[in-house]
Chain A
């Protein structure tokens, strides 16, 4: 029963905090609704909607990111067993990282990160 009591107390506390936020907003806010305004374009009106397609170069960047992201995926199980397996696991992982870095070096040389 005491377990339920604790949960209820926590629920009551959370509810009171949220209610207090509403009261503070009611007392102090300058306006009731959200303020909306135009985008700042140095004083001239915008001509297109801000939503637009990404430059194709971002996809090269996202592929580079994915390479490292997946590499991290491999490192989690590796980190669990590296202490038991020892030096050979470290050597293997760094060989794998080296291969990935070679890929990044290749993309760099080919100009995938060059913008203008």
Chain B
């Protein structure tokens, strides 16, 4: 077994040079998430899309009970060798990731976690293993029930949640989808609250001279998420690099050239327009009625679809990088009405617009509004229903 152990250790060390990191962020942990993303990029890692693809599970922020349970479930789905890290403060990102990487390769004298050996997680709440008529169902799960769909067909009703542990997705947000034949029949959003209420959303914190910079970075963050969901990973990576440079305090003049290049690539990309044209159209009247302000509200004037929204983000980032200031009293998602953050309005209009689309398009619609869970979590103690 000596040879096997050696080969296994060599393989683990080789794989750990490019760790695949699954990031589970709690609401209100934007600073921690950004620190982890930057650290993963710095160490040559990649963000994994699913637990099957991941070596490391990194939890950013302080998850509440339901999110912690979801994280445990995802952890059970990670194949070995695996390691996990908790990043509760932005400064902990680098040491926590280093420690997790060491655990991944199995340091001298310490056992490596090669994962569990078989058996799906038994946490289905006592569903039992007996199906209808005493027939055993695999894994104790029932077949889907049937119901009429909007076209008058009797189809299976599937309940598929989006979030909370999902890449390029607002942290801690869950949208419970009801699917019939690939089409979303209903979408109900809810937020998994963090362990402690969010004092101040990251993107609107720290006013003063840094405000335009922070706001542009917030919109670059949104763009990165939308483009990653749309499948334009190089554009998403460029937007995130610009975001990190902005937050690190790089001089604005140095960012003009890469931003203009990115904007030109985005505007000229026909594939990107095909992906987002005509999706989630929010008319100007509907935006006014729902109290949507900010870029999404202004985009309603020129078409109101997902394309109009990302074009508007690009315009506003360009203006902010050119030395402009954001409108007074307005955050990256819009204006705060007491007890009702702008992200609440965004989520309220986004969820109904997801209905009637297929899952991929529904994800694009939500990403094009990009409600900020920090604002939603901060609003909960102020008396707004979560």
Seen from chain A, the residues whose Cβ lies within 8 Å of a Cβ on chain B are: 27-28, 30-38, 40-49, 51-57, 115-116
Contact = CB atoms under 8 A, between A and B. Distances in A.
Contacts of A33: 117-118
Contacts of A34: 118
Contact of A47 (B76, B146, B153, B159): B159
A116 B358 contact: yes
Interface stretch (B119-127, B205-213, B268-276, B338-346): B119-127
Contact of A52 (B67, B156, B161, B356): B156
B332 interface: no
A27 B3 CA distance: 9
B8 interface: yes
Contact of B161 (A42, A48, A55, A116): A42
B164 A57 contact: no
Nearest to B138: A49
A49 B135 CA distance: 14
B84 to A, nearest CB: 14
Nearest to A45: B124
B155 A40 contact: no
A34 B117 CA distance: 8
B183 interface: yes
A55 B184 CA distance: 13
Given A27-B4, A42-B166, A116-B361, A48 B77 contact: no
Contact of B137 (A41, A49, A56): A49
A56 to B, nearest CB: 6
B143 A48 contact: yes
Interface string B152-181: 010110111111111001000010000011
Contacts, number: 116
A-B pairs, top 5 by smallest CB distance, nearest first, are A55-B181, A43-B70, A43-B165, A48-B144, A49-B141
A94 B251 CA distance: 64
A116 B158 CA distance: 17
B72 to A, nearest CB: 9
Contacts of B147: none
Interface of B: 3-4, 7-8, 24, 50-52, 67, 70-71, 73-74, 76-77, 79-80, 114-121, 123-125, 137-139, 141-146, 153, 155-156, 158-166, 169, 174, 180-183, 356-358, 361
Contacts of A55: 155, 180-182
B371 to A, nearest CB: 17
A28 B183 contact: no
B79 A35 contact: yes
A46 B120 CA distance: 12
A28 B358 CA distance: 43
Contacts of A45: 73, 121, 123-125
A46 B7 contact: no
Contact of B160 (A35, A41, A57): A41
Nearest to A34: B118
Given A42-B162, A43-B71, A51 B143 contact: yes
